[in-house]
């Protein structure tokens, strides 16, 4: 196992690119050593409260060192920058001694001071010809001038903590002849079969759930645009509609590649070129960008490109390639798939909206309990919202799930089987009504009483039938009082919501009363 020492400071330009947060900056380097047969053996890092380009002797600063037991950095000293530099000299001497004793095999240097705080360590590394990698134009030039074996120098512009850390560890491992797999998203990324393979990180469910706030924002704008004084917002709605594929592409790219700002840039580029493919096009473009970002990033690091160039190639070129493929080849197909799915839903609704709503309402509780909801129903809801800003299944969600859960929890506040259940039910009721989510609050009462469970399904079916009767299009995940305002039928949606809540409430109260009577009867028999 090779041992690495980290030397340096929060720097000038580096300060604004991660240097002001030593824990994250050095933590990323520590994480990357997990992808190689290497470990951190020493740290000497001076963190100032402002960029070193403007810092003075009196600027507050802190000295960080290595905690061998916790395998992380710890604050050793805090004072002015001048005092911190003086305190760093003692740690510098200790690290220099470790280098001379052969306990350190390489250096990672960031905005170091080879003439002051890092003088002894740099001299010792030069004497033993240890490989040195790092950032900081002036300091790295000075280190090289002192005879150190500088094998890789990178700028900080356009880089992130992760991309710099990968570059550092990759360069050192290549020098030592060690295998190294960049740790992206928590596991080494070594290829298709690796634990960290980007293919395994693709999750349509995750992409859809993360993008939901964008769809809700669009629904709010649509509702506001119906107010005569705010008609101008209809143009904003049209603009947001075009932006949705970009949102999905960014989320998809970041999910797959997990390279922070680099993947975000790639996702934006790919998403902008995938707009004509709708939300399916945005997802496909973002996934393609994420896969390419990861591949190009690793390859460019292996080819020892400067880190700024690596980010440009990985973020810019990956997004461009994926986006152009979508723009010229796949966008029409993606749009057609989305339209086909929406037409199938509309066909079922137009055939018999009441039956369609009832079936959706009856099945929605089994779907969410069985884990099908977020994987199948939510994507369809978002596809519907892409076109109209609200959704038939979104309305069934609010009525059949949220309002039914609210009815069940309200019943257990007003007439619980025992007093303790009221305290459990109250937070769930408030969240359902206040935020339009957390339907799981009804689970304890549904799973412990078959009548309540059946009542939930029946109430969902009745509510869904009313959604079909009134031809409602709406959404969940918003406060209950806002639900009708964001729908195409305020009165119809409000009536559907009220009926589902009251029906679930009544059935649960009856079930609770029967359970209490049964419990008292059993107690009398036992007595």
SS (H, E, C) 241-279: HHHHHHHHHHHHHHHHHCCCHHHHHHHHHHHHHCHHHHH
Domain of 266, in residue numbers: 198-335
Residues 146 and 221 grouped into a single domain: no
Residues 433 and 313 in one domain: no
3-class DSSP state for residue 192? coil
Q: Is residue 190 part of a domain?
A: no
Does residue 309 lie within any of the structural domains?
yes
H helices of 352-388, where?
A: 353-369, 378-388
Sheet with 2-9, side-by-side order of all strands? 72-80, 60-67, 38-48, 2-9, 106-110, 131-135, 149-154
Q: Which residues pair with 42 in a beta bridge?
A: 5
Quick check: is 441 in a domain? yes
The reply to whether 192 falls in a domain is no
Q: How many other β-carbons are positioned within 10 Å of the β-carbon of residue 487?
A: 28
Helices (H), 312-352: 318-325, 331-351
User: Contact 398/482 with Cβ under 8 angstroms?
Assistant: no
What per-residue confidence (pLDDT) applies to 43? 95
**Pair (309, 365) in one structural domain:** no
What's the confidence (pLDDT) of residue 374?
Answer: 67
R_g of the chain, CA atoms, integer Å: 30
Give pLDDT, residue 446: 93
Instruction: Indicate whether 155 and 277 sit together in one domain.
Output: no
**Does residue 217 share a domain with residue 152?**
no
d(CA 167, CA 179): 14
Cα dihedral 88→90→93→99 (10° resolution): -70
Tokens of 117: 């705080």
In sign, the C-alpha dihedral spanning 240, 244, 245, 247 is: positive
Q: How far is CA 316 from CA 115, 197, 308, in A?
A: 38, 22, 12
Distance of alpha carbon 38 from alpha carbon 105, whole angstroms: 10
Is the domain of 204 the same as that of 148?
A: no
| The total number of structural domains that make up the chain | 3
CB 181 within 8 A of CB 189: yes
Q: What is the pLDDT of residue 268?
A: 94
> Is there a domain that residue 189 lies in?
no
For residue 23, give the CATH number of its domain.
3.40.50.2300
Instruction: Specify whether 371 is located in the same domain as 520.
Output: yes
C-alpha–C-alpha distance, residues 14 and 20, integer Å:
8
Answer yes or no: do 292 and 403 share one domain: no
What pLDDT does residue 464 have? 94
Check residue 185 and give its pLDDT: 58
Residue that the structure tokens 């880089």 belong to:
159
| Longest distance between any two alpha carbons in the chain, whole Å | 94
The first and second tokens of residue 29, run together, are 């380097």
Please give the chain's pLDDT, 527 residues, in tens.
Answer: 899 999 999 988 889 888 889 999 999 999 999 888 899 999 999 999 999 889 899 999 999 999 988 888 999 999 999 999 999 999 999 999 999 999 999 999 999 999 999 999 999 999 999 999 998 878 888 999 999 999 988 777 778 888 889 889 988 998 999 988 877 754 444 333 344 566 777 877 788 778 888 888 877 887 787 778 888 888 888 888 888 889 999 999 988 887 878 889 999 999 999 988 888 889 999 999 999 998 898 888 778 787 778 888 888 999 999 999 999 988 888 778 767 776 777 777 778 889 999 999 999 999 888 877 766 677 778 777 776 678 898 899 999 999 999 999 999 999 998 878 888 899 999 999 998 888 999 999 999 999 999 999 999 999 999 999 999 998 888 888 888 988 889 999 999 999 999 999 999 999 999 988 887 777 667 66
Rounded Cα–Cα distance for residues 379 and 283 (Å) = 11
Domain identity same for 154 and 205: no
Residue 347 lies in a domain: no
Asked whether residue 188 is domain-assigned, the answer is: no
Instruction: Retrieve residue 241's tokens.
Output: 């509609």
Do both 423 and 378 map to the same domain? yes
Q: Are residues 461 and 492 in the same domain?
A: yes
CB 267 within 8 A of CB 248: no
Residues 453, 457, 462, 468, Cα dihedral to 10°? 160
**Which residues are CB-neighbours of 518 under 8 A, at least 6 positions away?**
none
Nearest in space to 42 (alpha carbons), one of 114, 115, 91, 76: 91
Q: Which residue among 145, 180, 215 closes a domain? A: 180
Q: What is the rounded (10 degree) CA torsion for 98, 101, 105, 106?
A: 50
Residue 262 near residue 290 (C-beta atoms within 8 A): no
DSSP 3-state assignment of 109? strand
Going by C-beta distance under 8 Å and a sequence separation of 6 or more, which residues neighbour residue 481? none
Whether residue 292 sits in one domain with residue 169:
no
CB 472 within 8 A of CB 493: yes
Q: Which of 137, 154, 180 is the last residue of a domain?
A: 180
Residue 346 lies in a domain: no
**Which residue matches tokens 């799930």?**
401
């Amino acid at each position: 196992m090779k041992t690495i020492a980290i030397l340096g400071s929060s720097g000038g330009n580096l300060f604004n690119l991660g240097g002001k947060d030593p824990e994250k900056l050095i933590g990323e380097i520590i994480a990357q050593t997990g992808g190689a047969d290497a470990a951190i053996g020493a740290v000497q890092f001076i963190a100032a409260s402002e960029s070193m380009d403007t810092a003075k002797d009196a600027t507050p600063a802190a000295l960080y060192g290595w905690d061998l037991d916790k395998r992380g950095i710890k604050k050793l000293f805090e004072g002015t920058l001048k005092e911190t530099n003086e305190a760093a000299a003692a740690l510098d001497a200790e690290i220099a001694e470790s280098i001379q004793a052969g306990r350190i095999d390489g250096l990672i240097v960031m905005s170091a001071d080879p003439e002051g705080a890092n003088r002894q360590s740099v001299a010792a590394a030069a004497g033993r010809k240890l490989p040195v990698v790092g950032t900081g134009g002036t300091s790295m030039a000075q280190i090289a001038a002192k005879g150190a074996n500088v094998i890789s120098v990178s700028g900080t512009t356009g880089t992130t903590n992760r991309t710099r850390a990968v570059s550092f560890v990759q360069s050192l491992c290549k020098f030592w002849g060690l295998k190294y797999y960049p740790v992206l998203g928590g596991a080494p990324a070594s290829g298709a079969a690796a634990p960290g393979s980007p293919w395994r990180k693709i999750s349509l469910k995750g992409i859809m759930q993360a993008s939901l706030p964008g769809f809700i924002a669009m629904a709010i704008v649509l509702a506001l645009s119906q107010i005569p004084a705010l008609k101008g917002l209809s143009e904003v709605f049209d603009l947001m509609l075009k932006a949705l594929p970009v949102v999905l592409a960014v989320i998809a790219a970041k999910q797959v590649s997990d390279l922070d700002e680099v993947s975000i840039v790639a996702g934006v580029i790919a998403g902008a070129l995938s707009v004509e493919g709708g939300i399916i096009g945005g997802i496909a473009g973002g996934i393609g960008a994420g896969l390419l970002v990861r591949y190009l990033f690793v390859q460019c690091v292996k080819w020892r490109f400067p880190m700024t160039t690596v980010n440009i190639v990985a973020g810019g070129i990956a997004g461009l390639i994926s986006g152009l493929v979508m723009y010229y080849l796949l966008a029409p197909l993606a749009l057609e798939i989305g339209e086909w799915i929406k037409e199938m839903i509309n066909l079922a609704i137009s055939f018999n909206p009441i039956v369609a709503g009832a079936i959706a309402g009856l099945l929605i509780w089994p779907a969410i309990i069985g884990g099908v909801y977020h994987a199948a129903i939510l994507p369809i809801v978002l596809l519907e919202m892409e076109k109209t800003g609200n959704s038939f299944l979104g309305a069934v969600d609010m009525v059949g799930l949220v309002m039914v859960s609210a009815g069940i929890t309200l019943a257990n506040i007003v007439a619980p089987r025992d007093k303790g259940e009221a305290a459990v039910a109250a937070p769930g009721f408030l969240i359902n009504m206040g935020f339009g989510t957390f339907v799981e609050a009804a689970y304890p009462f549904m799973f412990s009483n078959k009548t309540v469970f059946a009542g939930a399904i029946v109430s969902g079916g009745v509510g869904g039938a009313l959604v079909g009767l009134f031809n409602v299009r709406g959404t969940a995940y918003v406060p209950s009082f806002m639900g009708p305002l964001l729908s195409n039928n305020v009165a119809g949606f409000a009536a559907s919501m009220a009926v589902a809540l009251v029906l679930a409430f009544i059935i649960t109260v009856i079930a609770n009363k029967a359970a209490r009577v049964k419990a008292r009867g059993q107690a009398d028999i036992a007595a």
